[in-house]
Amino acid sequence: MLATIINIGAKILDVAIVWFMFYQLLKYSRNNFKLTLIFKGVIIILLLKLLSEWLNLYTVGIILEYVISWGPLALIIIFQPEIRNVLESIGRTQLLGRHKTLTVDEREKMVYEIINAVEYLKKNKIGALIVIERDYSLAQFIEPANKIYADISSELLISIFFPNNPLHDGGVIIQGDKITCAGSVFPTSMNPTISKRLGTRHRAALGISEISDAIALIVSEETGRISIAIQSELNYNLSLDDAKLLLLEELQPKKETFYEVDSESESDENEEISK
């Protein structure tokens, strides 16, 4: 009896692990254009292989067998950077993410300082790229950059991106309520659907949003327009108020929402009891 239970449990665990791996593959391929192409290509090859067997297409079948045999090795060699990014993303958990959970006051103060700096940069058409780390660690982009580890202030952000500053061309990374580094270089998005009018900063912002859950805020040097990239999507030409609301919404901890719901339900229950 015990052996049967263990055997059933092992099979359930086996299926659960396979489905988890499949889910993670779909999740990260959805946010990465190159991985999406790989996934589609693999599906097309498998469908062609089934079709060749069904219709007895001998030559096509032989070619596809070679492709299936040597394809994984070729994919690993060609798409090594993308595969590495996916493995790194899967290995990062919330325990390795943000250094501290900000309180409501700390979040509002951080957004206030960022928006004040962005307002000045927008008026003076000074380009900027500000990346805010969330659950996934950005350590690989912090390590080669110029370390700062300073409290967030609008004056510091403005001075970093001021023209002729050596750090002007790179991006700033914020962890918690600290400016961790400046002059960071991020991978640019290769998505062909991106407008050709967008410059390097916008493509870098989209690039980091494709491989992490970071929030990337951009101020255009040419137009002064404000944009925010989140989860591979670019919110273009935002007003200051819209940018502020979006930052506050995205920076709100996920757990906080559940606490608020619980507190509201508890208050409703108390009211019903009193009645």
> Over the stretch 42-97, which tens digit does the pLDDT of each residue have?
888 888 888 888 888 888 888 888 888 887 777 777 666 666 665 655 555 444 34
In terms of domains, do 153 and 23 share one?
no
Tokens of 95: 């325990």
- State whether 154 and 244 are in the same domain: yes
Q: Are β-strands 233-238 and 128-132 bridged in parallel, bridged antiparallel, or unpaired?
A: unpaired
| CA 137 centroid distance within chain | 10
**Greater model confidence, 152 or 59:** 152
Residue 274, domain member (yes or no): no
CATH of the domain at 177: 3.40.1700.10
Does residue 273 belong to any structural domain of this protein? Answer: no
Structure tokens at 43: 């599906």
Residues 31 and 157 in one domain: no
pLDDT of residue 86: 59
Greater model confidence, 37 or 110: 110
Q: Provide, rounded to the nearest whole percent, the portion of the chain with pLDDT above 70.
A: 78
CA distances from 193 to 31, 56, 203, 215, 233 (A): 14, 38, 11, 20, 11
How high is the pLDDT of residue 260? 44
Task: Note the pTM of the prediction, 2 decimals.
Answer: 0.64
Q: Which residue has the higher pLDDT, 180 or 43?
A: 180
With cut-offs at 50, 70 and 90, classify the pLDDT of residue 22: confident
133 or 272: which leads in pLDDT: 133
Tell me: pLDDT of 101 over 90: no
Structural domain boundaries, residue 40: 2-91
Instruction: State the Cα–Cα distance between residues 13 and 146, nearest whole angstrom.
Output: 45
Q: Based on the fold, state whether residues 64 and 111 are members of the same structural domain.
A: no
Q: At what angle do helices 2-30 and 33-55 cross, to 10 degrees?
A: 120
